[in-house]
Amino acid sequence: MAPSRRRSKLVSLFAAGVCLVAPHAWNAGAQEIVPLIAGNEDVAAALEECPTGYNLDGGVCKKEIARRPMTLCPPRASFEGGECVTEKEVKSVLTCGADELLVGDRCEVEEFIKALASCPRDYTFTGAACMRSQESKAQQYCDDGYKLSSGDLCLRDIKEKPEAVCPPGARQQGDKCFILESSPPHVACSRGFELESGMCVRVETVRPEQRCPHGYRLDGGICRNVVRLQPNAVCPAGHDFNGKECVMSQLAEPTLKCDDGYQLEGTVCVKRLEKAAKPECPAKYEYRNNVCIKQTAVKPRSECPEGSVEAAGPGKTCEAVHIADSSLVCPNDFSIYNGQCVRKTTGPMHQECALGFRNTREGVCVRETHQKAEKRCPEGLELSGDGVCTAQDSAPAHLVCDQGELTPQGTCVRVFTAETLFTCPRGFKLREPDCIRQVQKAAAATCPENAKMRGGNCIVLERFPASDNCEDDYVSDGHSSCIKYDIKSPKRTCPRAYRLFNTVCVKRLFRL
């Protein structure tokens, strides 16, 4: 019973390995399985063989392909006392002495000497500057408000505003005097009335009405009577008017003819049987009153009778215009006077003031007039044309110098200075009033704290822990070397009647 239980347990483990363990993980799993199959005749460990030059180690074949010493410190660092030590160069500190200036890596100091001084022409060196003097007459000036006159006198115009004075009884306001005048009132009439012979009379005038006699009509201020007349018919010479047209009658002697069978004797046609002769007229003639007449009719020419003129309008008519004087008629209560209708009415009278005056309660007419106040000047001042009080004040003129200094003698002394000419020896530069030369020397180099000098440079030692790590693909041998291996899987073989299952050999009759 025991072998069967072991077989079942092993099968379960193999089944779990098949499902859960990846093929590349069997190398590690084989070490756990092999102890379990000890004493199990159905499962045996596979024989592992490595290629030539490879060594079996932990189920894999290893071959050393490179070896290098373990780098404990980085390049340019040395291993001392279990630590890495490296040197770091720091900049030295350059210092100069007092009054020296550091320029680059050298100390620069200025050397001073006095420059040689000289002056332009006409100038004298006083030890401090080149100077010359010039004397001139002082100028005269006056105080503010004064003007210089001839000589050495200053004049000032005094101007004051004059005092305004009004007559007694006048009211002063500014430069004006207001005077109250009175006047008795006079009799006056109401508006529209005029005083005439001690009465207030209002004269009303209207234009009179013009009237014409019966049958006349007013036209432009004239009474006119227009009579319509028929024009006279005027016929040409030799024509007669028959009431309608002009007729010219022409007479001709008729010729006496007798009918057949009759014989003319005198004015009688005789036949055996007598018969009166029939008169006969020429063509276009008519026989009237024993004569032959030819009438020619023309239309008469129309002329207006004397004293009439041709009227406007259709047809021809004549007008006779009769003029009469119009009569002037005024309204009631009006009378004609100088061609006007005049009516006079009287009105009440009242007291009134003259123009510009006003009536007071006391019945007095007053008005206020104004005039300019009289201007009076203080004593010693005179009134000028522009209405200002003026006078003149005098004072002695003062002396002043436009340039230079005033002397007790009344002259001005001006001192001119010129630029001093300085020269320096060769190698020096001028910085007035000295000559300067720059002198250089090496600067003193010092190192910071914890640094030491080496050949003009400052060296600082830096320490840090050593490293026992190898580079990628290298492993430590546990001493002081790093090794790089080439790793391969071993070749596994099984005895006869076994077959390889992952990393173990299983009998062929074993059923999984």
β-bridge mates for residue 395, sequence order: 154
**37 neighbors 17 (Cβ within 8 angstroms):** no
Q: Which residue has the higher pLDDT, 32 or 494?
A: 494
C-alpha span between 42 and 46 (Å, rounded):
13
pLDDT 10s digits, 279-313: 888 877 888 888 888 777 777 777 787 767 777 77
What confidence score (pLDDT) does residue 390 get?
A: 87
The reported pTM is: 0.23
Beta strands in 55-213 (DSSP E): 55-57, 60-69, 77-80, 83-90, 93-95, 101-103, 106-114, 116-118, 124-125, 130-137, 139-141, 147-148, 153-160, 163-165, 171-173, 176-183, 186-189, 194-196, 199-206, 209-211
- What integer best gives the mean pLDDT of the chain? 78
355, 360, 362, 365 alpha-carbon torsion, rounded to 10°: -20
Residues in the chain: 512
Domain ranges for the chain, please list them.
1-46+494-512
State the average pLDDT over residues 188-201: 83
Percent of the chain with pLDDT over 70: 89
Taking alpha carbons only, the member of 236, 240, 243, 273 closest to residue 258 is: 273
Q: Which stretch of DSSP H or E encloses residue 6? A: helix 2-20
Looking at the predicted structure, is the pLDDT value of residue 35 above 50? Answer: no
* Segment 234-257 mean pLDDT: 79
| Percentage of the chain lying above the pLDDT 90 cut | 1
Residue 50: what pLDDT?
Answer: 92
Helix 26-36 vs helix 2-20: crossing angle, to nearest 10: 170
- Cα separation, 117 vs 113, whole angstroms: 12
